[in-house]
Amino acid sequence: MTGSSTDATALSALPVGMFDSGIGGLTVLHECLVALPDEDFVYFGDTARFPYGPRSRAELELFADQIARFLEQAGVKLIVVACYSATAAALPSLQERFATPIVGVVTPGARAAVQTSRYRRIGVMATEATVESESYVHAIRGLDAGAEVHQQACPGLAEYIQDGDVASREVADAVRAYTVPLKQKRPDVVIMGCTHYPLIAPLLQRHLGRDVTLVNPAAEVAHEVEEILDRRGIARREEREGEYRFFCTGDVESFRAVGARFLQMPLEDVTHVPLERLADLRP
């Protein structure tokens, strides 16, 4: 066996790492667990510093760098930035600094929206940080220069969902307030540009109307992870049931209780990571 094939075999046994500002990224993990049932996964939720949406680019770059270093030291073969704010702010710098391949969630969603849209009018509902970065505008127009892109920032919406509130009058009122200006642009496709939003997809669909197609980039991310692992020759090839475990910077019991609703699978192995430990992980 050659050295390169030995390396690939050793790498294939490692888990895929994934991180998010909170528990919203569990919607991405869910799709990955379904699409790649024999792979192992390690998920990191930075719940003590949630939400990321109002954070500055410098803060997001720092947080993303710390967590990527934590995951790399834990031993992973690929890192998924399952957070739109962190992807928008930090993905290019992460890809430059780390040897481990790193993918984000913006490009897969943009690709799906462009392929789905009939009238080339695409809406994006996202956090303030994602909207301000214009990452979706650049990604969509990189695929279709003539596409109209209409963004809608949704301050506070992810916070409701993070707390487990997906059906209250307050959430419904917030959704109505954010969808009214977007509907005036008459998009035929709207990207749920925050990992939390798929949990309120029925509310979004009701207020956007049945003629609008909602795009959940999570499934597209799972396909991209599968393609990268295959292309690099580091996918698990055994007939096995993969394992998954979790780290979080906030309260473990809250993460476990609310997170199970997002993951829609058992969520048990959760380890607390103090922020001081992340602060010690420097470039």
Which residues are the active-site residues? 83, 194
Distance CA 225, CA 34 (A): 12
Q: Reply yes or no: is the peptide bond before residue 51 cis, omega within 30 of 0.
A: yes
CA atoms within 13 A on the CB side of 30: 21
Beta strands in the chain (DSSP E): 16-20, 41-45, 78-81, 102-103, 121-126, 148-153, 189-193, 213-215, 244-248, 270-272
- DSSP assignment letter at 49: G
Bridge partners of 272, per DSSP, are 248
Q: Give the residue from 82, 122, 78 showing the smallest Cα distance to 106.
A: 82
Bridge partners of 189, per DSSP, are 122, 213
